[in-house]
Every structure is written in structure tokens, then in C-alpha cells.
């Protein structure tokens, strides 16, 4: 499936992935290939991106996610620097 992580300033990630774990407002959840369509709000937290290249982490300051037809789009309010 294809993932895009977009902020108002830039595109933080774009590419093929095998799974994405997201910090949902009601708790974290993971989307995998062929997941049912979903739109959800996100809180501040870590996005874990699994791909053939390994695992990547991006910390966001909240946002929304949409999954449709094996394309995941995360509209993040901001990317937070790791402390």
C-alpha cells in the first residue's frame, strides 16, 4: 500500500509500506494492506511505518488519516522533533 505523510510545510514521507501504526484519538491502531476504508483523527504521538527497508518513526502533533483503496494519507498538524 502507498503512504503519504503531509504537513502544511512539506511532505514528510511518501512511499510503499507494509503497515502503519497510528496514534488515534481513541487509542493507537494499525492499518495493513487491503484495510477497510477509514477516516480518523490523530493525537500527538508516534507514527510507526513498516516497509521493505525497515521501520521508520515520525512524531506528529496531531492530525487526521484517511485510508482508501490501499492509499493512506496522513494530514499532520506538525512534525515534532525528538527530545
pLDDT band at 83 (very low <50, low <70, confident <90, very high): very low
Give per-residue pLDDT as tens, 26-56.
Answer: 999 999 999 999 999 999 999 999 999 999 9
- Residues 65 and 73: beta-carbon distance below 8 Å: yes
Position 82 pLDDT exceeds 70:
no
Q: What is the mean pLDDT of residues 7-21?
A: 96
For 2-19, the DSSP string reads EEEEE-SS-EEEEEE-SE
Q: Which CATH superfamily is domain 2-76 in?
A: F0F1 ATP synthase delta/epsilon subunit, N-terminal (2.60.15.10)
Mean pLDDT taken over the chain? 95
Amino acid at each position: 500500500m502507498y503512504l503519504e505523510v503531509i504537513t502544511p510545510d512539506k511532505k514528510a514521507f511518501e512511499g510503499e509500506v507494509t503497515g502503519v501504526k497510528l496514534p488515534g484519538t481513541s487509542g493507537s491502531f494499525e492499518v495493513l494492506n487491503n484495510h477497510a476504508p477509514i477516516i480518523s483523527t490523530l493525537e500527538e504521538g508516534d507514527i510507526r511505518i513498516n516497509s521493505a527497508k525497515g521501520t521508520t518513526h515520525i512524531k506528529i502533533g496531531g492530525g487526521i488519516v484517511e485510508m482508501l483503496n490501499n492509499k493512506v494519507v496522513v494530514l499532520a498538524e506538525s512534525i515534532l522533533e525528538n527530545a
